Amino acid sequence: MDLKFLNLGKEKLRMRRLIDQWTPAVAFLFSFLKFLQFFKKIGGRVKESGWRTAMKAYSRMEHSKFILVAFRLTAYEGREGPPDLDETAERIVRRLARFFENVPELQWQLEWTAWHVTRKRKNLIDIVRARYRDDGSLESLRPYLDARGPGFDGLDAALTGKLLDLIIGHYNQTRDFRDKIRPWVLQKRIGKSLSRDFSMTVEIRQDAKKYIARVLSAAFVSFETLPSRSLFEADRFQEPHFIKRKHPGLGLLNILCRLRADFDEADLWIQFHHIPVDGVPMQEVLRRLKEEWGTRGEINFPSLGAPLRNRPELCSTESGDRGTYHKTAFIDFRPFGAARKELARKYEGRIAGGLPVISLLLWGLAHHPNFKGKKFFFPVDVAGDPETEEERGVGAVFIRPGRYFNAKNPEQGFIAFQNEFNRRLALAQARCGESHEMLELYALTTPLIYGLTRKLAPKALGEFIGTVGVTMIKDSDLFITPMSETHADGFLAFGNFLIPTEGGGAAGAVSVRGKQDEIEGHLDAVRAVVSDYLAYC
């Protein structure tokens, strides 16, 4: 990407570039940012990156988690005798534990207070097999705790069973509590119950607390069997109702293993809490998992003409007008790919940095009535820096394509937008620029400020960071989008555009989260744009 003209890191910051439409509330937030810049200049320092701090503030909801899928994994090698669900599940859990042990990116747990969440390293590989009822209540737990950890000499089988029943009882009582307090309340209630059990000695009570903490922060795994032996029926691609199989909230991973009817292969649907980790690095972990376990073959999406039973499904604890819904659709992106090649030839040498897929999508979507006038947010994978010890993270591009529309000269508007998007993308990847500065400045504040900004000035905040999120993991088979609290007009996720379909052809999965009555319109907009992209250029 030839972007030498950007003079990265030396270009003067102009925070006004973040704003397209001024209002009194926007002006107030802008003044607050200038104050934070002054505070930073006189020595204010952040403890954690701006992105990670924002995640801790705005991604505490169930629907803020994202999901990645590994299809057609080899479930069981060397089986003797008929297939058995419990035996297969046992083998898969132990294989997962061995794999997780060598993946430090997955070794996190969460600590909750009434006001915020922090992430903490978890070096022990604990996994719990969970069974849920159809109504979302927890039925049973079977822990597989890392043998490398300290033992629980004071706990016999009867007492550990009692402790698991205690967890299940309080989980079921609190499972419909507000997401932002549920894990904290769950811990508090369990702790109070332990303190009231006068039959325990001090030593046994301490062991009991540690045992419960290990269980609550473990990776949860549940199992279900696909209703058919067929490899590619649409049921295989229905998003699991994780809202009815919630993690207690203190661990990173919540996994559903879908086994084919003969238990020969498995699909792992992995729900990640977004506070400790991000999508692109986790997709790389899934790629390593597939390489290590092996697969039974490539996945094929359903035929594009096949009727799917999926409709917008609730994916949040709240429902109705306050609920967040989700739907995945399979869409033919081949016309879009052909249009991109044609545009690349047409504008060669006139657009610095080429034509990224995501910038073309944003330009097209902004022309559709569903997204007219909207400002978009696109997260950018940012490499770590060993010299400064900065960990791999995420930058941000905030941009309103409509600002560059030019009715008199559409071509000029298109070129201007693509150049500006590429400029902002390169700055985000280099950890500089206005969007990076804004995230870092807000990290100087407290969780209370994040909450007040979203609550008291949501439209003004949207003017800075956008109201529609669009994300992409280009080599993912299926990527279920997260949904932050701040993007009121929805969130869209794209994966690999060229997954083969049954009967020939290819498609990409598009995931949308948002308001129930807007999701179909968002998907229709994507279909319209990618089927006839040149109409928008």
DSSP 438-479: HHHHHTTS-HHHHHHHHHH-HHHHHHHH-SEEEEE-TT-S-E
- 5 pLDDT higher than 80: no
Task: Give strand ranges (E) for 241-368.
Answer: 253-259, 265-272, 313-314, 325-331
Is residue 154 within 8 A of residue 201, CB to CB? The reply is: yes
Closest CA to 497 of 505, 488, 485, 487: 505
Residue for token pair 């319209």: 528
pLDDT of residue 224: 94
pLDDT tier, 448 (very low <50, low <70, confident <90, very high otherwise): confident
Read out DSSP for 122-189? --S--EEEEEE-TTS-EEEEEEE--TTSPP-TT--HHHHHHHHHHHHHHHHHHTTS-TTTHHHHHHHH
C-alpha dist (Å) from residue 84 to 119, 122, 264, 473: 37, 32, 11, 35
* φ, ψ of residue 138 in degrees (nearest 5): -85, 130
The per-residue b/e assignment along 287-304, b for 16 or more CB within 10 angstroms, e otherwise, is eebbeebeeeeebbbbbe
| Cβ within 8 Å of residue 74, ≥6 positions away | 264, 265, 266, 293, 294, 295, 296
Assess whether pLDDT exceeds 50 at residue 135. yes
Domain assignment present for residue 485? The answer is: yes
Closest CA to 24 of 460, 483, 518, 451: 460
- Tens digit of each residue's pLDDT (9 = 90 or more) over 389-441: 889 999 999 999 999 999 999 999 999 999 999 999 999 999 999 999 999 99
- Same domain as 168, residue 112: yes
User: Do 401 and 529 share a domain, yes or no?
Assistant: yes
Check whether residue 187 and residue 318 sit in a common domain. Answer: no
Give the pLDDT of residue 1: 46
- Residues 277-292 have a mean pLDDT of 97
Q: Identify whether residues 271 and 314 lie together within a single domain.
A: no
What's the CA gap between 264 and 387, in Å, rounded?
Answer: 46
Please compute the mean of the pLDDT values over residues 55-64 and round it to a whole number: 93
**Overall average pLDDT of the 40-52 stretch:** 89
d(CA 480, CA 495): 9
Rounded CA-CA distance 466/132 in Å is: 37
When pLDDT is averaged across residues 183-203 and rounded to a whole number, the result is: 90
Give the pLDDT mean for 452-469. 94
| pLDDT tens readout for residues 206-263 | 999 999 999 999 999 999 998 765 555 677 888 899 999 999 999 999 999 999 888 8
Residues 377, 421 share a domain: yes
Clarify whether residues 284 and 172 are in a common domain. yes
Instruction: Kindly state whether residues 86 and 189 are assigned to the same domain.
Output: yes
* DSSP state letters, 255-273: EEEEEPTTSSEEEEEEEE-
Nearest in space to 3 (alpha carbons), one of 418, 468, 516: 418
Buried b / exposed e over 73-112, threshold 16 CB at 10 Å, is bebbeeeeeebeeeebbebbbebbbebbeeeebbebbbeb
The pLDDT value recorded for residue 82 is: 57
Q: Are residues 30 and 151 in the same domain?
A: no
Total number of domains in the chain: 2
- Per the CB < 8 A criterion, the answer to whether 155 and 208 are in contact is yes
Identify whether residues 336 and 229 lie together within a single domain: no
What is the arithmetic mean of pLDDT over 166-189? 97
User: What's the rounded mean pLDDT across residues 337-351?
Assistant: 95
* Token digits of residue 7: 């003079």
- CATH number of the domain bearing residue 234: 3.30.559
Average pLDDT, the chain: 92
Domain that holds residue 36: 18-47+310-536
Query: Would the pLDDT of 490 be above 80?
Result: yes
Residue 60 lies in a domain: no
pTM (predicted TM-score):
0.94
Q: Are residues 40 and 73 in the same domain?
A: no
Terminal CA-CA length for the chain: 22
The residue among 289, 295, 305, 439 whose CA lies nearest residue 379 is 439
Model confidence at 2: pLDDT above 60: no
CA distance 271 to 254: 5
Three-state DSSP at 212 gives helix
For residues 321 and 252, state if they share a domain. Answer: no
CB neighbour list of residue 532: distance below 8 Å, 6 or more residues apart: 335
279 located within any domain: yes
**Least confident range of 53-62, 148-157, 308-317, 523-532:** 308-317
The percent of the chain in helix, strand and coil, each rounded to the nearest 5, is: 40, 20, 40
279 has a pLDDT exceeding 60 = yes
Residue 359 sits in the same domain as residue 494: yes
Question: Strand pairing partners for 499?
Answer: 507
Neighbours of 9 (CB within 10 A): 10
52 lies in some domain: no
* 493, part of any domain: yes
- Residue 211: inside a domain: yes
In a 13 Å sphere around the CA of 478, the CA atoms on its Cβ side amount to 24
**Residue 59 domain flag:** no
What is residue 301's three-state secondary structure?
strand
d(CA 185, CA 203): 24
Q: Does residue 298 lie within any of the structural domains?
A: no
Closest to 485 measured CA to CA, from 448, 513, 511, 509: 513
The enclosing domain of 503 has a CATH number of: 3.30.559.10
